Amino acid sequence: MIGLVFWALGLSLPWASIQATITNPLNFEVRIDIPADSYVSVVADYSSNGYQLNWVSGHAYNDSALYFSCIFEKKLSSGPPEQWAGRLDYSASDLYAVITAYDTINVHPALLNGYTFRGVDYYVIIWKSGKVDGRSWVLMTGDVFSARVEEYKREGYLLKHVSGYAVGDEPRFAALWERNTTVVPEPVIRYGFTRSERLTKGMRDVRTHRSILLSGYTVGGIDYFIALWERRLEPDPAPPLPNTFGLLDLSRDRLERLKEQLMYQGVIPRSLSGYNAAGHFAATWESLFYSAEDAVNIDNHVGQFTNWGTRIPALSVAITKDERLVYASGFGLASRWDAIPQIMVSPRTRFRIASVSKIITATAIMTLVEAGRIHLSDHVFGPGSLTGDRYATYVPHRPNVDPNILEHQYEYSAGIEDITVQHLLEHTSGWDDISNPIIIINVDRWDSIRIIEDTVANVPLAHPPGTHFDYSNFGFLVLGQLIADLTNTDYETYVRTAVLDPAGVSPRFQLASNDGQLPDVVTYYPLDLTNANRWHEYGAFGGWVGTPIDLMRFSVHVDGMPGRKDVLNATTEGAMWAPSQVEPTQSLGWWGDEEEKFRGHDGELPDARSWLIQKTDGSGYGFAVCINVGTAKEWTVDKPDWWKVGATELREMVEGLIKLVKWPEYDLF
């Protein structure tokens, strides 16, 4: 056991002052399992990009290799970092001389973590500028550590940090104390408890305690844990404590998913430790802006709607305010219920967005209109139209017609030559639901061109174009093929180039595949109901797969608001959103509700539902939401009436969520 003393004139910032400098969870980066021989270059790379090191801990798996896990924070001001790490392999005998030397240049240890590799104990330190009146000990047994805690408490020192590790088959502890010159209460410490003892020894009421640390260490093949809490200031009333919590037994994969999920909820990492041969992690997290009550209210609101994952197994939502992404979260399981391991929904989980695809197609068409390559009044079929006679029926012999005039050898059914681009966008082409291509796509397995040829030849219009609203998937299938024909590329490539890339939408937002599920796509229910469907061919009317975050990246670049540069100019957007003369709730691919004050589109399939909404009430809110159940009767059979999820109900659930809390000012895009 070695004890160290370092003397000081100042004190590190209290939590409230540190929090005031934090503006965005995106400023934090978590890196796990950095090989020892890569650590220096990784830290140097982050440092060169303006990050400082807030946390580092070492861990080895079966003593075969040594790794380090780090938490980096983007600095909000220029200049050298306030804290940094030195060597990773200080020995116990090195520490006294090193700390003494640094003290002469006004530098003190802000973090001290011990670890063991191949039977030898080592220490890693994060150094910080400034002097503090402090104490440091390593190689302490549990009894000695407890005695030191009580001794230093009497002398007016606060326990700032502690780590556990093994020397042989015995636990050892390394810890830091600092002189308490403020009203900060003595922290609560529990150590040496096992996984099964966590509920009795490793938990505290979040209303009265703030979790500072939860870390793990392994001794003799058994996992043990340390928990450190800060108590609420007394007497009441006191300002609310931040929402903090600790999690243990996190696998690498779950930790990677969790850190992204929590980041989009305004939660940042505070501590991280690896332990045991299986490569598990314990971590402490802190919400920057949401209280524990906020978190409970959000979970309860969504949980009651989904019936805690039984009515809706998976849900993902993203919310924007004034074109800033302020919240995104996944709820439920992305994997099957019986999968091992189970995979939770995260903001990265992808869903089929169904007919929300139509507003993406409409925006792509309007880029062609804005460029002057087509006009809304252009006819789609017939002589002099955008497609000419490509889809007409060939008639080789007709009486009283000059066979030498080529255009007389082709014909369309009544009214088809009157269809314009605007009619297709407004669902007023005249075709009714008989023209729906879904069955042909999935049963006959035809491509778009053959479907258009067959429909034009064999399905007469139910109404004259421009006189009657009939929601038409076929109309948007035609628009998708029109984009491909006019741009000499495929539909997906043009949409990516003209719409999605300028909006900063991830390449992971793409058309579905006919060759099985894409990576990171949710499981749909009822299981295996639609696995044979040719989702790729749904294309322009319903084939896109992505995340609510990507939908909102698209949305904030097609919203007419003054902040971000839109894909279309204001005149084009105005034309796109102008109410249809036939059905005022419809515009060009979009639909809206003046009473409810929104525009957007919903999507529904037998096993999926989705929404993209832009509020038009001046609030600046928008949202996208996706779930993995839809209209399939198999999902609601023998269930109560409320089990079926309606489009309006899904939209109103998110609108209710928006009203629950005051959303932060940062931007998570």
Do both 239 and 363 map to the same domain? no
d(CA 265, CA 13): 25
User: Under a CB-based contact definition with an 8 Å cutoff, are residues 243 and 277 in contact?
Assistant: no
Among all chains, which residue has been given the structure tokens 């978590």? 30
Angle between helices 473-487 and 357-370 (to 10 degrees): 40
Residue 389 to residue 522: CA distance in whole angstroms: 42
At residue 20, the pLDDT reads: 35
Range of the domain at 108: 2-288
Residues 129 and 245 in one domain: yes
pLDDT confidence bin for 61, thresholds 50/70/90: confident
Residue type, 371: A
Question: Would you state the pLDDT for residue 411?
Answer: 80
DSSP secondary structure letter of residue 53: E
Place of tokens 């895009």: 669
Whether 62 and 182 map to the same domain: the answer is yes
Kindly state whether residues 186 and 58 are assigned to the same domain: yes
With a cut of 50, say whether residue 16 has pLDDT above it: no
Name the residue among 395, 377, 393 with its Cα closest to residue 385: 377
Asked whether residue 510 is domain-assigned, the answer is yes
> Considering the domain boundaries, does residue 412 fall inside one?
no
Rounded distance between C-alpha atoms, residue 520 and residue 343, angstroms? 10
Q: Is the pLDDT of residue 10 over 70?
A: no
| 201 domain-assigned | yes
Per the domain annotation, does 666 fall within a domain?
no
Average pLDDT over residues 288-308: 90
Helix (H, G, I), strand (E, B) or coil at 633: helix
372 and 275 assigned to the same domain: no
AA identity, residue 463:
H
Sole residue written with tokens 């056991």 = 1
Closest alpha carbon to 415 in 425, 432, 430: 430
Residue 504 pLDDT more than 70?
Answer: yes
pLDDT of residue 237: 53
pLDDT tens sequence across 541-553: 999 999 999 999 9
Tokens 């200049």 found at:
79
- pLDDT band for position 353 (50/70/90)? very high
> Given the structure tokens 């400034």, which residue do they identify?
130
Rg, C-alpha atoms of the chain: 31
Q: Is residue 481 part of a domain?
A: yes
Q: Which of 335, 339, 325, 5 is nearest to 157 (CA)?
A: 5
Q: Is residue 439 part of a domain?
A: yes
pLDDT band, very low/low/confident/very high, at 404 (cuts 50, 70, 90): low
How large is the angle between the packed helices 473-487 and 448-458, nearest 10 degrees? 120
Residue 357 belongs to some domain of the structure:
yes
Question: What's the structural domain count of the chain?
Answer: 2
Look at residue 259 and give its three-state secondary structure: helix
Question: Which CATH number covers residue 576?
Answer: 3.40.710.10
Identify the pLDDT of residue 409: 57
272 and 148 part of one domain = yes
Give the domain-ending residue among 288, 307, 324.
Answer: 288
Q: Which of 234, 253, 288 is the last residue of a domain?
A: 288
Could you tell me if 90 and 212 lie in one domain?
A: yes
CA dist., res. 29 & res. 411, Å (int): 63
Count of other CB atoms within 10 angstroms of residue 270: 19
Dist. CA 293–CA 305, nearest whole Å: 18
463 and 553 fall within a common domain: yes
- Torsion angle of alpha carbons 325, 330, 335, 337, nearest 10°? -170
Q: Would you say residue 204 has pLDDT above 90?
A: no
The pLDDT of residue 202: 64
| CA distances, 443 to each of 224, 434, 439, 531 (Å) | 58, 15, 6, 13
Angle (deg, nearest 10), helices 570-577 and 357-370: 130
Residue 389 lies in a domain: no
Q: Which of 646, 622, 586, 16 is nearest to 321 (CA)?
A: 622
* In a shared domain, residues 275 and 359: no
Last residue of a domain, one of 246, 269, 288: 288
Mean pLDDT of 498-521: 94
Of 13-22, 354-363, 390-399, 413-422, least confident by mean pLDDT is: 13-22
| Cis before 313 (ω within 30) | no
The DSSP element (H or E) to which 210 belongs, if any, is strand 209-219
Report DSSP state, residue 296.
H
Strand partners, 113: 124
305 token code pair: 């709607």
Residue 255 and residue 361 in one domain? no
Q: What per-residue string of b and e applies to 146-162 under the rule 16 or more CB within 10 Å gives b?
A: eebbeebeeeebbbbbb
Kind plus residue range of the DSSP H or E element containing 305: helix 292-306
Q: How many CA atoms lie within 13 A of 616 on its CB side?
A: 14
Residue 394 banded pLDDT, cuts 50, 70, 90: low
Q: Tell me: do 279 and 367 sit in the same domain.
A: no
- CA dist 108 and 21 (Å) reads 22
| Residue range 583-596: mean pLDDT, rounded | 94
Does 118 share its domain with 244? yes
Given this model, what pLDDT does residue 400 score? 58
Whether the pLDDT of residue 659 is over 50: the answer is yes
Closest C-alpha to 357, from 524, 475, 531: 475
pLDDT at 18: 31
pLDDT band at 402 (very low <50, low <70, confident <90, very high): low
Query: What per-residue confidence (pLDDT) applies to 86?
Result: 76
Contact 69, 272 (CB under 8 A): yes
Is pTM, for the whole model, over 0.75? yes
Q: Are strands 591-593 and 598-605 parallel, antiparallel or unpaired?
A: antiparallel
Tell me the two tokens of residue 324: 């800033």
Q: How far apart are CA 541 and CA 364, in angstroms?
A: 12
Q: Which of 184-188, 252-256, 522-526, 561-565 has the lowest mean pLDDT?
A: 184-188
